[in-house]
Amino acid sequence: TGKCYHTFRGHSAEIVCLSFNPQSTLLATGSMDTTAKLWDLEKGEEVATLSGHSAEIIALSFNTTGDRIITGSFDHTVAVWDVGTGRLLHTLIGHRGEISSAQFNWDCSLIVTGSMDKTCMLWDAVTGTHIATLAGHRKEVLDVCFDFAGQRIATASADGSARVYNAETKQCIAKLEGHEDEISKVS
């Protein structure tokens, strides 16, 4: 019908990323104001403000059960939050550049992060522990994702290539080259 159900107001700067939770009951928004907000879609109200980053949030993603959300920031960190309480559970520290993307795997056990530091990192989603750094790109990693089985990780880079890594062995199993310029998204 094209009907607008709600207009969400509350950020003090531009919203640069957003995502529905798997149940389609919440909308998460990430902003240049360094916060993310969770919004109740039925009531049209703010549920929580996730504060803790020192720079803009440019990536966010729910896990498949909807009880956790991650936010990636230009402060070089990724935060893991409890959706029900809005509490910060872990801060993933290790990248030397701005975060470009972050995602949970299907069974919610791993997190993959991409960064302007030319690397992708793999993390334990439960403990927040760094597992591995996946290197090889010559320029910034602009996007990362897991396959649906959680066995492979794909990366997209400003160097014009994409790579596929085995999530268990951490080895690069494919280098995809042929674009003439940067690759901004991979799925």
Query: Are 37 and 77 members of one domain?
Result: yes
> pLDDT per residue over 96-105, tens digit each?
999 999 999 9
Query: Are 13 and 50 members of one domain?
Result: yes
> pLDDT per residue over 11-21, tens digit each?
999 999 999 99
pLDDT(5) > 90: no
Query: Are 17 and 75 members of one domain?
Result: yes
The pLDDT score that the predictor gives to residue 120 is 97
Q: What band does 33 get if pLDDT is binned at 50, 70 and 90? A: very high
Mean pLDDT of the chain: 97
In a domain, 103, yes or no: no
The pLDDT score that the predictor gives to residue 161 is 97
What CATH number does the domain containing 2 carry? 2.40.10
pLDDT(159) > 90: yes
Its domain, for residue 55, covers 1-93
Question: What pTM, to 2 d.p., does this model score?
Answer: 0.95
Query: Are 27 and 68 members of one domain?
Result: yes
Domain count, the chain: 2
Strands 15-20 and 152-157, bridge-based pairing = unpaired
Report whether 26 contacts 38 (CB < 8 A).
Answer: yes
Based on its alpha-carbon atoms, the radius of gyration of the chain, rounded to whole angstroms, reads 16
Average pLDDT over residues 111-119: 98
CA distances from 185 to 24, 130, 134 (A): 23, 24, 18
Query: Are 78 and 118 members of one domain?
Result: no
> What six digits make up the tokens of 83?
């959706």
Average pLDDT over residues 158-184: 96
Question: DSSP letters of 97-135?
Answer: S-EEEEEE-TTSSEEEEEETTS-EEEEETTT--EEEEE-
The pLDDT score that the predictor gives to residue 9 is 94
